[in-house]
C-alpha cells in the first residue's frame, strides 16, 4: 500500500477543533462538571467530590466499608461537596453516591462497573496488591462474546471466552479454565469485577501461569443472556428457581465444554480442564464436578460450599469418593474468615476430610468480596496444568 | 460423558435460596428501590420514576429532546417522583436524571451505555423502526475485544471485531467493513450506541446483507484504549491534538488492515474492503480513502464532510479524482437536515459533484444523532460486496 504523506496540507482539514468535540457525541453533550473525583492522595486516602448547589444530603458507600455503612459528604463553596477517606489498602473498589437518597455513579469517574442489574463507579488504589489485576505493559489476551446453542436449556446463550496472548498467531492447543460467577452476576462479572483477563495476562507474562483459555458462562439457567433477559431476573423466585436446579451444570458440561472443544484450539482431556467458581458458582463447581467425575482435573471452590445443613452426607461422600477416584490433581478451597457462607465452606471441608480427598485450603481475611476472589484466582491459576 | 440425573436429592443442596441472593454480590447489596422505571405505555409514552424523600428538584434529559432541554419530575406520595413523556417514536434513546443537578443514570434501569467518559441509561421504544437493531431470535455474530500491535503509533491498542454467524463453523473467507466512531467515542461506540452487531445479525438473517466482519478501532490516536487512557482524554487540546493529525488513518490502513488480513479468514482485496464512519470517523474515512486509493472499494460518510471551509479544493479534487480512478463501487453519503455539520457535508458533496464521482446521497430528518447513524448503517451495509 502507498505510504501516507503526513505533511500534506489537506490533512489539517479534518482536524476537529475543540469547539466541535462537545457537540459531536450525544451522551457527551450532557452537563460538564469541572470536578476531580475520585482523587487518590499519596497516602492512599481518597477524596470524592460532587457538585450540587441544591442537594440536602450526599453520602458515599464504598466496598471497603461494611454493608449498610455510608460516609457523608460535606457541602463546601459553590456547591462542591466532598469527603476524604482514611488511607485505603491498595486494591480495587467500587462505590456509589447517594444524592438525597438516590443511588448514583460518580459523574466524573469514567470507569463504572455493572454487576447484574446495578452499576457502581470503579476505583483502583494503586500499590503492590493491585499490580496483579492492573492493565500492565504486557501482551494481552482477547475477550470474545460468543453465542452458542444450548440444547440442554433449549436456548441460544452467550458466554465470554478469553484467549491468551499468542493464541491467534501460533498453532498450539491450550488448556481451559471454566470460571463461574455468583448469584446476581452474569457472564460479565469475572471480567469487569474479577479482572480475570488482566490477572491471567500478568501471570502468563511473569511465567507464573500456563497460557490457557478462560470460559465464563452465564450461570443463570433461565437467561439467554443478561443483555436480553436482565429485567426478568427480578421475577425469579425461590419456587420457580427450583425448576432450574442442576440445569446449568448440565448445560456447562454437555453444551459448553463440547462447543469450546469443537471451536477452539484446546486440549480435550481431564487434565487440561479446570473448573472454579465463587459463591453460587462454587456450588455449581461442586455439583458439576461430582456429577461428571473424570471431566475436570482441577477444581476451585471460592467462598462457597455445601449450602444445605440437612444434606444427605452419606450420598455426598459416595460422590466425592468417586470424584477422587477419577483423578483430581488439585482441589483448592478458599474462603474469607468473615464470609457469611463459612458454615457451608466448613461442610465442604468436612466432606473432603472425611473422604480423604487431598485438597488445599486457603483462609483469608475479609468476607464475601471480589478482593478475595481476585486473590483466589491469582493463587489458583498458577497451580493449573502443571 | 455421563448423563446427569436431575432427580438425585443432592442437587437440591446447592439451591441458593432467595434470602442469600441479595448478599451474594457486592454491588447488588446496595439499596434496593421498588420502583418501575422506565415504563413504556401502549401509546409509546414513557414514564420515568425515582424515589427520593429529600431531593429538591429532579429532571430528566432524553435524547429525543433538544440539547439543553430537560423535563421536570413531580414529587408524589412517599417521595416517588415521576414524569410521563408524550408518545415517542419507536427508536433507541438514552437519558439521564439530574438529582438536584447531579447527573445520574436511572437506578432501576439495568441497561446503561457508556459514550466515552459518560454514562446514560438506555431505552428502546419498540416498534417497526426498532426491529432492525433489536436482539431478535436470529443467529448472532460474536464480538471480540482484540489487542494488536500498532507500529505506526508505537502502541499496543485495542479494537472490536464482529465475526458474523457461521464464521467459526465454516471455512469461508469474508469481506470486511471498517467502521469508525466520532469524537468523544471509542471502540465501544458502534456496539453500545450503534448496535452494529445486532443490525448486521438482522440484515444477514433476512438475506439483506452479505455476511461480513466489522472492525471497530479506537480513532483517538493518542489512546492505547479507553480502558487505560480514558482519563487522559480531557487533556487533549486543540494544540496537542494537531500532532496526531493523519496518524489514525495511517495506523488504520498500515497496521489494522494487515492485522485483520493476517489473523482472520477474510478476502484481502479492494472489493472486499469497505470503510465508513460518522462525524470525526467520517473525516477519517475521507482522509484514509483519498490517501490510500485502491484500498477500499466501498465508502460511507455519515454526518461529516470536509470540515475546513478554507480547504485547498484544487488539491482535494486531484485526490478525489485519483480515488475515483482506483475504482469505488459505492460512495454513500448520509446527513441529517438539522446536522450542525451540514456545511461540511455540502463541501464533500460539492467535490464529489465537481469530480464527477458517482455517489448516493441520503438526507434524513434530524441531526447529529445515533438514531440517524444506526439507520445509515442499515441502509449502507446491504449495498456492500455485491
Counting one residue from A and one from B, how many pairs have CB atoms under 8 Å apart? Answer: 380
pTM: predicted TM-score of the whole model, two decimal places: 0.89
Q: ω into residue A38 within 30 of 0, thus cis?
A: yes
Q: How far is it, in rounded angstroms, from Cα B180 to Cα B218?
A: 8
CA angle B102, B103, B106 (to 5 degrees): 120
Question: In the prediction, which pLDDT does A281 show?
Answer: 97
How far is the C-alpha of B261 from the C-alpha of B69, rounded, in Å?
Answer: 46
Contact A162, A196 (CB under 8 A): yes
Predicted-complex ipTM score: 0.86
Place B226 in a pLDDT band, splitting at 50, 70 and 90.
low
Q: Do B96 and A29 touch (CB under 8 A)?
A: no
- For the stretch B340-353, what's the b/e string if a residue is b when 16 or more beta carbons lie within 10 angstroms of its beta carbon? ebbebbebbbebbe
How far apart CA A273 and CA A384 sit, in angstroms, is: 9
Rounded CA-CA distance B269/A356 in Å is: 63
Residues whose CB falls within 8 Å of the CB of residue B154, separated by 6 or more in sequence, listed in order: none
B157 pLDDT above the threshold of 70? yes
Q: Are the CB atoms for A368 and A305 separated by under 8 Å? A: no
Is A200 in the B-facing interface, judged by CB distances under 8 Å?
Answer: no
CB A94 within 8 A of CB A122: yes
Q: Above 50 in pLDDT, residue B24?
A: no
Give the other-Cβ count within 10 Å of A179's Cβ. Answer: 30
Contact criterion met (CB < 8 Å) for A4 and B140: no
Spell out which residues of chain B touch residue A159, defining contact as CB-CB under 8 Å.
none
Max Cα–Cα distance, chain A, nearest Å: 81
Q: At what angle do helices A313-326 and A280-291 cross, to 10 degrees?
A: 70
Q: Which of A16, A250, A22, A333 is nearest to B4 (CA)?
A: A250
Cβ-Cβ contacts under 8 Å, B144 against chain A: 142-145
Residue B34 has a pLDDT of: 74
Q: What percent of chain B has pLDDT over 70?
A: 87
Contact flag A307-B156 (C-beta cutoff 8 Å): no
pLDDT digits (tens, 9 = 90+) for B240-290: 667 778 899 999 999 999 999 999 999 999 999 999 999 999 999 999 999
Each residue of A216-259: pLDDT tens digit? 999 988 887 766 654 444 456 666 667 778 899 999 999 999 99
Tell me how close the Cα of B370 comes to any Cα of chain A, in angstroms: 8
Q: What is the 3-state secondary structure (H, E, C) of chain B?
A: CCCCCCCCHHHHHHCCCHHHHHHHCCHHHCCCCCCCCCEECCCCCEEEEEECCCCCCEEEEECCCCCCCCEECEECHHHEEEEECCCCCCEEEEEEEEECCEEECCCCCCCEEEECCEEEEEEEECCHHHHHHCCCCCCCCEEEEEEEEECCCCEEEEEEEEECCCCCCCCCCECEEEEECCCCCCCCHHHHCCCHHHHHHHHHHCCCCCCCEEEECCCCCCCCCHHHHHHHHHHCCHHHHHCCCCHHHHHHHHHHHHHHHHHCCECCCHHHEEEEEECHHHHHHHHHHHHCCCCCCEEEEECCCCCCCCCCHHHHHHHHHHHHHHCCCEEEEEEECCCCCHHHHHHHHHHHHHCCCCCEEEEECCCCCHHHHHHHHHHHHHHCCC
Rounded to whole angstroms, how far apart are CA atoms B174 and B100? 52
| Digit-coded pLDDT (tens) for A313-365 | 999 999 999 999 999 999 999 999 999 999 999 999 999 999 999 999 999 99
In this structure, are residues B89 and A1 in contact, taking their beta carbons and an 8 Å threshold? no
pLDDT tens per residue across all 386 residues of chain A: 333 333 332 333 333 333 233 333 444 433 444 799 999 999 999 999 999 999 999 999 999 998 889 999 999 999 999 999 999 999 999 999 999 999 999 999 989 998 888 899 999 999 999 999 998 888 999 999 999 999 999 888 999 999 999 998 889 999 999 999 999 899 999 999 999 999 999 999 999 999 999 999 999 888 877 666 544 444 566 666 677 788 999 999 999 999 999 999 999 999 999 999 999 999 999 999 999 999 999 999 999 999 988 989 999 999 999 999 999 999 999 999 999 999 999 999 999 999 999 999 999 999 999 999 999 999 999 999 99
Residues 6+ apart with CB under 8 A from A96: A60, A61, A103, A104, A105, A120, A121, B30
CB atoms inside a 10 Å sphere around CB A283: 30
Q: Report the percentage of chain A scoring pLDDT > 70.
A: 87
Return the H-helix or E-strand segment holding A177.
strand A176-180
Does residue A265 sit at the B interface (CB-CB below 8 Å)?
no
How far CA B100 is from CA of A4, A98, B105, B118, B300, in Å, comes to 51, 11, 13, 18, 42
- The residues with which A32 forms a beta bridge, in sequence order, are none
| pLDDT value at residue A4 | 33
Helix, strand, or coil (residue A78): helix
Q: What kind and span of H or E run contains A361?
A: strand A360-364
Query: For B43-47, what is the mean pLDDT?
Result: 97
Contact across the interface for A101 and B295, Cβ inside 8 Å: no
Distance CA B276, CA B273 (A): 10
Q: What is the pLDDT of residue A169?
A: 85
Give the sign of the dihedral formed by CA B21, CA B23, CA B28, CA B29.
positive
Q: How far is CA A352 from CA A212, A300, B13, B386, in A?
A: 27, 13, 16, 63
- Quote the CA–CA distance of A38 and A108 in Å, as a whole number: 8
Residue B104: partners with Cβ closer than 8 Å, 6 or more residues away: A99, A102, A103, A104, A105, A107, B96, B97, B98
The residue with cell 431470535 is B137
Tell me the C-alpha distance between B291 and B208, whole Å: 31
The set of cell numbers assigned to A249 is 451444570
Is B43 exposed, middle or buried (CB count within 10 Å of its CB: 0-12, 13-18, 19+)?
A: exposed
Which positions ≥6 away from B382 have C-beta within 8 Å?
B203, B208, B209
Q: Which of A217, A98, A115 is nearest to B112 (CA)?
A: A115
- The Cα-based distances of B178 to A11, B138, B186 in angstroms read 20, 23, 14
* Omega prior to B352 cis, within 30 of 0: no
pLDDT at B32 over 60: no
Q: Smallest Cα–Cα separation from B329: which of B372, B281, B294?
A: B294
Q: Give the mean model confidence (pLDDT) for residues B136-160.
A: 92
Q: Which of B13, B61, B169 sits opposite A311 (nearest CB)?
A: B13
Cα–Cα distance for residue pair A73/A170, rounded to 1 Å: 53
B-proximal residues of A, 308-337, CB under 8 Å: 308, 311-312, 315-316, 319
Q: How close is the nearest chain A Cα to the Cα of B315, in Å?
A: 8
Contact B283 A16 (CB under 8 A): yes
Mutate to test the interface with A, among B14, B62, B180, B265 (most CBs of A within 10 A): B14
B358 is written with which cell numbers? 458517482
What's the confidence (pLDDT) of residue A5?
33
How far is residue A26's CA from residue B339's CA, in Å, rounded to a whole number?
A: 12
Contact A30 B120 (CB under 8 A): yes
Summarised one tens digit per residue, pLDDT across range B227-249 is 665 444 445 666 666 777 889 99
| Pairing status of strand A273-278 against strand A298-302 | parallel
Per-residue H/E/C for A45-59? CEEEEEECCCCCCEE
Interface of B with A in 98-127 (CB under 8 A): 98-105, 107, 110-120
Amino acid at each position: 500500500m502507498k505510504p501516507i504523506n503526513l505533511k500534506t496540507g489537506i490533512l489539517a482539514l479534518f482536524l476537529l477543533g475543540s469547539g466541535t468535540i462537545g457537540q459531536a457525541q450525544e451522551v457527551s453533550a450532557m452537563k460538564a462538571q469541572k470536578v476531580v473525583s475520585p482523587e487518590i492522595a499519596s497516602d492512599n486516602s481518597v477524596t470524592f467530590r460532587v457538585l450540587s448547589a441544591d442537594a440536602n444530603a450526599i453520602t458515599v458507600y464504598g466496598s471497603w466499608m461494611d454493608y449498610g455503612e455510608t460516609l457523608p459528604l460535606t457541602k463546601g463553596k459553590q456547591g462542591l461537596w466532598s469527603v476524604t477517606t482514611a488511607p485505603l489498602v491498595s486494591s480495587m473498589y467500587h462505590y456509589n453516591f447517594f444524592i438525597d437518597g438516590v443511588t448514583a455513579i460518580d459523574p466524573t469517574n469514567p470507569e463504572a462497573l455493572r454487576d447484574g442489574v446495578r452499576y457502581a463507579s470503579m476505583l483502583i488504589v494503586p500499590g503492590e496488591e493491585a499490580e496483579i489485576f492492573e492493565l500492565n505493559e504486557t501482551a494481552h489476551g482477547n475477550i470474545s462474546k460468543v453465542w452458542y446453542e444450548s440444547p440442554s436449556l433449549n436456548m441460544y446463550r452467550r458466554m465470554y471466552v478469553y484467549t491468551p496472548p499468542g493464541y491467534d498467531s501460533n498453532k498450539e492447543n491450550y488448556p481451559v479454565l471454566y470460571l463461574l460467577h455468583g448469584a446476581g452476576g452474569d457472564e460479565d462479572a469475572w471480567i469487569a469485577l474479577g479482572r480475570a483477563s488482566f490477572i491471567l495476562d500478568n501471570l502468563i507474562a511473569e511465567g507464573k501461569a500456563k497460557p490457557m483459555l478462560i470460559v465464563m458462562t452465564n450461570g443463570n439457567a433461565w437467561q439467554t443472556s443478561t443483555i436480553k433477559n436482565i429485567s426478568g431476573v427480578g421475577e425469579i423466585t425461590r419456587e420457580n428457581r427450583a425448576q432450574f436446579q442442576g440445569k446449568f451444570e448440565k448445560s456447562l458440561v454437555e453444551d459448553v465444554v463440547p462447543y469450546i472443544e469443537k471451536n477452539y484450539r484446546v486440549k480435550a482431556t481431564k487434565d487440561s480442564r479446570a473448573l472454579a467458581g465463587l459463591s453460587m458458582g462454587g456450588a455449581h463447581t461442586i455439583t458439576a464436578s461430582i456429577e461428571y467425575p473424570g471431566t475436570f482435573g482441577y477444581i476451585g471452590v471460592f467462598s462457597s460450599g455445601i449450602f444445605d445443613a440437612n444434606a444427605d452426607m452419606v450420598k455426598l461422600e459416595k460422590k466425592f469418593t468417586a470424584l477422587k477416584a477419577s483423578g483430581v490433581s488439585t482441589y483448592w478451597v478458599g474462603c474469607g474468615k468473615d464470609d457469611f457462607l463459612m458454615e457451608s465452606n466448613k461442610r465442604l471441608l468436612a466432606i473432603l476430610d472425611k473422604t480423604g480427598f487431598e485438597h488445599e485450603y486457603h483462609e483469608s481475611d475479609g468476607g464475601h468480596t471480589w478482593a478475595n476472589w481476585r486473590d483466589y484466582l491469582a493463587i489458583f491459576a498458577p497451580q493449573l496444568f502443571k
